[in-house]
Each structure stands twice: as C-alpha cells, then as structure tokens.
Amino acid sequence: MIRISVFLVTICSAALLTASFMGALHPAGDSLAVFRSYLALALLACGLILFAFRRRWRGGIALLFAIISLPPLYWPDSRAGAFATSGSGLSLYQKNMLFRMPDPAVLGRDILTRAPDFVTLQEVSGVNLAILDELGTAYPSRQFCSFASVGGVAVAARWPMVEGSGICAEHDGLAAMRVNMPDGPVWVVSIHLHWPWPHSQSEQVGRLLPLLAGLSGAKVIGGDFNMVPWSYRMRQIARRTGTNRLGPAHITLIKSNGWLRVPIDHVLVSGTGRVERLPLLGSDHFGLLARFHFTAPD
C-alpha cells in the first residue's frame, strides 16, 4: 500500500511539474510554476523512497527530473559583474508598501538614508500616500497612478522628469515617466500585477506588453509582479522590454505561516546589476535595492 501511494504521488508530482513549464500554452502553467520548487522537492523525496523500495529505475527517473527542475533560486547571476560587491552605478529602491502600512514614515526614512536614484512603489493608498510628500525635495520628479482597491503605483526620481512623459495605466497597475539623466533619458516604471490564473494576470500582461515595448531607450522597471522569475510571463516581459531581471531571486513574500515563500518582486533593467533584499518595515513584502548600470543596445 505504501509503495502504491508513493508511486501515485510520484506520478502526480511529475505531471504537475511538467505542466509548470507550459505557461506559454496556458496561464495555469505559470500558476503551477509558483510551486515548482515544492513539486520538485516532493518528487525528490519520492525518488529516494522508491530507491529504498528497490524501484531503482523509477526512483532514478524521479530524482533526475527533480534535480533538473529545481529553479536556480540562489545561483549567482552571471550578469552581476562588479556590482556584486561594488556600490557604483545607479540604484533603485523597490517596495510594495502594503496598503495599510501602519507608519510609512519608517519606510520614508529608509529610502532617504539609502538615497537611491529611483523609487518604485506599489499599494500606495490613502493611508500611506503621504510618503510621496515625505520624499520631498530629494525626489522632485514623481508620478502616481490609481490602481486597485489595495492602492496605486508610483515612481520617483532624483532627476528632472521629461515634460509630458508621465504615463498612467490606471486599470492595469502601471506608472511610468521619463527622466533626464546626465547620460541621456531613462524610463522609470512601477508595475503591480494581479495574481496569476485563475485571476487576471495573463490578460493584464497582454494589455501592458504593447505599452512597455513602446518605451524606447534605457529603462528600469520595479514591481510586485506576483510571479516567480522562472515563469513564462516574467521571461516574456523581459524579452519584450529588452531588459534583464536582476538577480539573485530573493524571497519577498512569506505566507501560510512560512510554508509559502516566493520571490515575486523584481527589478528589470536594460543593463546589468544586482539586487539585495531589504527589511519588511511594516509591509508584508520585503523591499529590494538594485544597483546597476545601463548598457548600450546591440
């Protein structure tokens, strides 16, 4: 009975794991991709148990599939370069604030202390909207856009905004503006995506991609994508925007008493760099601080 149960769990885990690679065919694949590491670990355990039961070829296949499927959460990013240890270049502070953040002043002080060049925020609500004023003269260029009931999205920059460049996709969780940098103009974008299938993330991304692809030149995108970096949707966004998702992939949301730990907040840049994880500071999402530089297009 135990052997049959383990075999059935192995088959189910392998089937769901295979489906997690099929986000291009149906958005349910990306929903399963969120749990790919968990499915791979379950398959790994089943493979070891099958070996113990002397079902070696079945156990071997299960182990091999599990090992090659585990997402590279902590593998070094080959594009990080000197930014792994260097503080040079530009920087962006990414944060989902939590719409009911009790004291946004704490986050405001942390941003001002770290003094990034750009800031991207999500869940900017009536409770915490004052943070934009708190950033004050340090970030004279700001763009806020309403979104969902949990709050809007915002971008801020130390550099002057190109007149008339502000963009709001109020129903699709995007705020963007172009700023004049010493080396040329740069697009700064904040995104908040819905949860994946059966929710409307796939349709939302489909509407945003033409807008994002139309932003010419250097760009930096920070956001709560509600999606893991190895998903089809994240790879599609990076490809269509001509950006690289900066690594490593940090766990930014912890739910279900710690059983669900997912990297769903990201920074994408048309260049190279690296991100570090920042404290919660009253939110349910960890922040990210990205250090990067832009590279010339091929």
**Are 95 and 194 contained in the same domain?**
yes
Q: Which domain holds residue 29?
A: 2-69
Residues 111 and 156 in one domain: yes
Q: Last residue of some domain: 42, 69, 96?
A: 69
Residues 131 and 253 in one domain: yes
User: In this structure, are strands 265-269 and 244-245 parallel, antiparallel, or unpaired?
Assistant: antiparallel
215 in the same domain as 135: yes
Q: Is 75 inside a domain boundary?
A: no
Residues 100 and 215 in one domain: yes
Q: Are 246 and 274 in contact (CB under 8 A)?
A: yes
First to last CA, the chain: 59
Indicate which CATH number applies to the domain containing 160: 3.60.10.10
Q: Compute the C-alpha angle 152/155/157, nearest 5°.
A: 160
Spatial distance between the Cα atoms of 167 and 217, rounded to a whole number of angstroms: 16
Residue 281 phi, psi dihedral angles, 5° rounding = 55, 45
If asked whether residues 235 and 185 sit together in one domain, one would say: yes
In terms of domains, do 122 and 177 share one? yes
Q: Considering the chain, what is the average pLDDT of its residues?
A: 90
Q: Would residue 184 count as lying in a domain?
A: yes
Token pair for residue 176? 């963007």
pLDDT higher than threshold 70 for residue 118: yes
Give dist(CA 51, CA 60) in Å, integer: 8
Distance CA 243, CA 86 (A): 21
Q: How many domains does the chain have?
A: 2
Per-residue pLDDT for 254 more than 60? yes
Tell whether 201 is covered by a domain.
Answer: yes
Asked if residues 34 and 21 have their Cβ atoms less than 8 Å apart, the reply is no
State yes or no: pLDDT of 55 exceeds 80.
Answer: no
pLDDT band, very low/low/confident/very high, at 50 (cuts 50, 70, 90): confident
Rounded-to-integer distance, Cα 294 and Cα 297, Å:
9
Residue 51 and residue 14 share a domain = yes
Q: Which residues pair with 192 in a beta bridge?
A: 224
d(CA 63, CA 211): 43
The count of C-alpha atoms lying within 13 angstroms of the C-alpha of 20, restricted to the half-sphere facing its C-beta, is: 26
Q: Is residue 226 part of a domain?
A: yes
Alpha helices in the chain (DSSP H): 2-19, 28-33, 36-52, 56-69, 104-114, 131-135, 201-213, 232-241
Q: Which two tokens stand for residue 43?
A: 């398959």
* Residue 74 belongs to some domain of the structure: no
- Is 157 found in the same domain as 21? no
Q: Are 118 and 157 spatial neighbours (Cβ–Cβ below 8 Å)?
A: yes
127 shares its domain with 25? no
Q: Higher pLDDT residue, 91 or 2?
A: 91
Determine, yes or no, domain membership for 275.
yes
For residue 208, being part of any structural domain is answered with yes
Percent of the chain whose pLDDT exceeds 90: 70
- Tell me which residue of 169, 177, 94, 167 sits closest to 142, measured CA to CA: 177
Alpha-carbon gap, residue 56 to 54, rounded angstroms: 5
This model's pTM is above 0.85: yes
| Pairing state between β 118-124 and 244-245 | unpaired
Confidence of residue 8 (pLDDT cuts 50, 70, 90): confident
Of 166, 288, 273, 170, residue with least CA distance to 215: 166
